[in-house]
Structure 1
């Protein structure tokens, strides 16, 4: 089931259909709010989105240290016992997260995620918010 804002449902489904092993896809804002999802339940998608906000912040800080004075987080991959977690920058203040089981092939996954972001990245922006309000 797909729930989201906008018309990304067929694109998220296309990603899931094109890569074996995908269990959940979440599109989120930089502050951890779910914008869209495919698979899984809404509560799980909200938890993933919230966790990703911290992870993208941490990855951005590390990227800044590596590049000394610049550099942005583009992709984080975490391998766990039962699968993989992918987090990719997808537009201004927006991210694409994918949870997949061991059937997923990491190279194929990252290529398909990049393709999806290239197609819809400009539409996956999330305006900055302050005190819960769009700035």
Structure 2
């Protein structure tokens, strides 16, 4: 996974460069562990990853109540005073989270995130863990 993190650096930077209003990008596992990040503080990235685990779980529970849904969360967008937060499914057990300021072009950000996930989605996976170890 260390090599995988290094390979994400330029891809996450490319996303940030393409949408200058991005403040932080985090790739995380479904259980809330940070896999990679770009921008911002590492401690903030860790807290964001942990919060995202709960958010994706909540979104999946809501999706399960929608008729004909497979119950899988695809995209969550939060607009808060001061900016936006996006959380997108990005592979088996992995998610892409982005914090952006309030002037971000929301459509552009969503499209660029989707493009990134399509390009590297097969590599954005996090195997399940049991007792703190990857299985």
TM-score (ref. length: structure 2): 0.94
Within-5 A mapping of 1:11-90: 11-67=11-67, 70-90=70-90
In structure 1, how many angstroms separate the alpha carbons of the residues matched to 2:37 and 2:98?
10
**Residues 1:118 and 2:131 are matched in the alignment:** no
Report the count of equivalent residues: 132
Q: Deviations over 1:38-74 (max 9, x none)?
A: 0011100000000000000000111111135623110
* SS in structure 1 of the partner of residue 96 of structure 2: strand
Q: Is the 8 A contact 2:91 2:122 kept in 1?
A: yes
Query: Which residue of structure 2 lines up, in the alignment, with residue 96 of structure 1?
Result: 96
Q: What is the alpha-carbon root mean square deviation over aligned residues?
A: 1.2
In structure 1, how many angstroms separate the alpha carbons of the residues matched to 2:43 and 2:67?
36
Q: Which runs of 5+ in 2 are unaligned?
A: none
User: How much does 1:8 deviate?
Assistant: 1.1
Q: Is the 8 A contact 1:24 1:39 kept in 2?
A: yes
Q: Which runs of 5+ in 1 are unaligned?
A: none
TM-score (ref. length: structure 1): 0.94
In structure 1, how many angstroms separate the alpha carbons of the residues matched to 2:21 and 2:99?
9
Q: Deviations over 1:24-49 (max 9, x none)?
A: 00000000000000001110000000
